[in-house]
């Protein structure tokens, strides 16, 4: 990809997904833009087996932006890292097109294993602030990871995941992260369980009250009979 084309795409991506930006020139100040420039250079060096220089450039990028992307990671087009402080992308991570990451996201491994040890994110995935995706598995396309979640196993396409460990709480509500970047209005399975228990408890209490009334009526009727 040529430099001019790359810059135009980055401007379009950032302006589309960040309502705080007001001009194209601001893009050049964004950590996401700078991090992707460093990554593209380092990745090219990594592919040509210039490992030391690839890591040197990537570490300079991490120092300047707070976003650490290993030069061996494979990243598609349209990645947007909002704010970006504390984002870590491991060596064998694979990221598809139009993916959005927020600050504090880790795409990491679970140990010292060799080979593919980091996650694969398919197209149009959104990973919210502070979420950790750890291990060699796939996050299906159009999926959404809630803030602070810890995902340790595969996520089907078109899913919403929340919690520690992460649980799929919504599926097949297809949307595109470019259109839906809401990190707040996610399902809360714990609250739903509590509400269900409260409803069941209220039904039991009402039933007990009804039984007590029936017992009192029977006692009165038996007293009259005697």
pLDDT at 117: 92
Pair 130, 36 in one domain: yes
Pair 205, 183 in one domain: no
Pair 80, 18 in one domain: yes
Over residues 40-93, the pLDDT tens digits come to: 999 999 999 999 999 999 999 999 999 999 999 999 998 999 888 899 999 999
Pair 124, 151 in one domain: yes
Pair 108, 211 in one domain: no
Range of the domain at 208: 188-226
How would you classify the pairing of strands 167-171 and 159-162?
A: antiparallel
Q: How many domains does the chain have?
A: 2
Over residues 171-198, the pLDDT tens digits come to: 775 554 545 556 556 666 666 778 788 8
Q: What's the rounded mean pLDDT across residues 28-38?
A: 90
Pair 76, 106 in one domain: yes
pLDDT at 226: 46
Pair 135, 66 in one domain: yes
Pair 116, 19 in one domain: yes
Pair 116, 28 in one domain: yes
Query: Could you tell me the CATH number of the domain that includes residue 152?
Result: 2.160.10.10
Higher local confidence (pLDDT), 140 or 220: 140
Rounded CA-CA distance 220/33 in Å is 82
Pair 66, 171 in one domain: yes
pLDDT winner (highest mean) among 11-25, 99-113, 181-195: 99-113
Over residues 122-170, the pLDDT tens digits come to: 999 999 999 999 999 999 999 999 999 999 999 999 999 988 888 888 7
Pair 55, 133 in one domain: yes
3-state secondary structure string across the chain: CCHHHHHHHHHHHHHHHCCCCCCHHHHHHCHHHHHHHHHHHHHHHHHCCCHHHHHHHHHHHHHHHCEEECCCCEECCCCEECCCCCEEECCCCEECCCCEECCCCEEECCCCCCCCCCCEECCCCEECCCCEEECCCEECCCCEECCCCEECCCECCCEEEECCCCEEEEECCCCCCCCCCCCCCCCCHHHHHHHHHHHHHHHHHHHHHHHHHHHHHHHHHHHHHC
Pair 182, 192 in one domain: no
Whole-prediction pTM:
0.73
């Amino acid at each position: 990809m040529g430099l001019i084309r790359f810059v135009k795409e980055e401007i379009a991506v950032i302006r589309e997904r960040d309502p705080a930006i007001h001009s194209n020139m601001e893009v050049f100040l964004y950590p996401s833009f700078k991090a992707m420039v460093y990554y593209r250079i380092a990745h090219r060096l990594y592919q040509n087996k210039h490992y030391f220089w690839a890591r040197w450039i990537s570490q300079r990028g991490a120092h300047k932006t707070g976003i650490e992307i290993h030069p061996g990671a494979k990243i598609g087009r349209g990645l947007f890292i909002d704010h970006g402080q504390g984002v870590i992308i491991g060596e064998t991570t694979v990221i598809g097109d139009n993916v959005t990451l927020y600050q504090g996201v880790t795409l990491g491994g679970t140990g010292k294993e060799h080979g593919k040890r980091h996650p694969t994110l398919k197209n149009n995935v959104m990973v919210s602030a502070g979420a950790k995706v750890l291990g060699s598995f796939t996050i299906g396309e159009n999926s959404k990871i809630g803030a602070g979640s810890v995902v340790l196993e595969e996520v089907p396409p078109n899913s919403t995941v929340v919690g520690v460990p992460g649980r799929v709480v919504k599926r097949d509500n297809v949307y595109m992260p470019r259109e839906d970047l809401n990190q707040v209005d996610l399902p809360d399975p714990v609250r739903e369980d509590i509400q269900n228990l409260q409803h069941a408890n209220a039904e039991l209490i009402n039933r007990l009250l009804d039984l007590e009334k029936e017992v009192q009526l029977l006692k009165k009727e038996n007293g009259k009979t005697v």
